[in-house]
Amino acid sequence: MAVYTQLGPQQVDTLLAHYDVGKLVALKGIAEGVENSNFFVQTTQSRFILTLYENRVNPDDLPFFYALLKHLHDAGCKVPQFITDRDGQWLQTIAGRPACLIEFLDGVSVTEPTEAQAHSTGAALGHMHQALADFTLSRPNSLGVSAWRPLASRCTVEGLESIATGLSARVFAECDYLEAYWPTDLPVAAIHADLFPDNVLMLGDNVSGLIDFYFACSEVRAYDLAVTHSAWCFSNDGTAFDAEVSAGLLSGYADYLPLDTATREALPILLRGACLRFLLTRCYDWINTPANALVTRKDPLAFLRRLDFYSDGRHVENMLGHYT
Restricted to residues 139-198, the positions that interact with its own copies (CB under 8 A) are none
Piece of the chain touching its own copies by CB under 8 A; list 24-32, 142-150, 151-159, 251-259? 24-32
Among 55, 76, 111, 166, binds its own copies (CB under 8 A): 111
150-155 long-range Cβ contacts below 8 angstroms, 24+ apart: 151/280, 151/281, 151/284, 152/280, 152/283, 154/284, 155/280, 155/283, 155/284, 155/287
Sequence-distant (≥ 6) Cβ neighbours of residue 271 within 8 angstroms? 226, 229, 230, 310, 316
Give dist(CA 62, CA 50) in Å, integer. 14
Give dist(CA 217, CA 195) in Å, integer. 13
Among 40, 90, 241, 256, binds its own copies (CB under 8 A): 40
Regarding 206 and contact with its own copies (CB under 8 A), the answer is no
Regarding 294 and contact with its own copies (CB under 8 A), the answer is yes
Among 20, 74, 112, 237, binds its own copies (CB under 8 A): 112
C-beta of 84 vs 114, nearer to its own copies: 114
Piece of the chain touching its own copies by CB under 8 A; list 107-115, 167-175, 183-191, 263-271? 107-115
Quote the least distance from Cβ 111 to its own copies, whole Å. Answer: 3
* Beta bridge mates, 27: 41
Quote the least distance from Cβ 266 to its own copies, whole Å. Answer: 33
C-beta of 202 vs 276, nearer to its own copies: 202
Sequence-distant (≥ 6) Cβ neighbours of residue 177 within 8 angstroms? 272
Piece of the chain touching its own copies by CB under 8 A; list 138-146, 161-169, 260-268, 292-300? 292-300
Piece of the chain touching its own copies by CB under 8 A; list 2-10, 52-60, 127-135, 222-230? 2-10
Piece of the chain touching its own copies by CB under 8 A; list 68-76, 109-117, 131-139, 312-320? 109-117
User: Terminus-to-terminus CA distance in the chain, angstroms?
Assistant: 41
Among 33, 98, 107, 122, binds its own copies (CB under 8 A): 107
Among 5, 16, 19, 32, binds its own copies (CB under 8 A): 32
Piece of the chain touching its own copies by CB under 8 A; list 5-13, 72-80, 89-97, 239-247? 5-13
b/e sequence 85-124, b meaning 16+ C-beta within 10 Å: beeeebbbebeebbbbbbbbbebeebeebebbbbbbbbbb
Strands of 248-317 (E only): list them.
Answer: none
Regarding 30 and contact with its own copies (CB under 8 A), the answer is yes
* Beta bridge mates, 94: 97
The pair phi, psi for residue 277, each rounded to 5°, is -60, -45
How many residues interact with its own copies (rule CB under 8 A)? Answer: 31
Q: Give the SS3 label for residue 274.
A: helix
C-beta of 83 vs 307, nearer to its own copies: 83
Nearest alpha carbon to residue 32 among 43, 48, 44, 45: 48
Regarding 24 and contact with its own copies (CB under 8 A), the answer is yes
C-beta of 27 vs 75, nearer to its own copies: 27
**Cα 288 to Cα 160, 194, 284, 314, distances in angstroms:** 11, 21, 6, 36
Regarding 84 and contact with its own copies (CB under 8 A), the answer is no
Q: Which residues bind its own copies (CB under 8 A)?
A: 1, 3, 8-10, 12, 24-32, 40, 42, 104, 106-112, 203, 290, 292-295
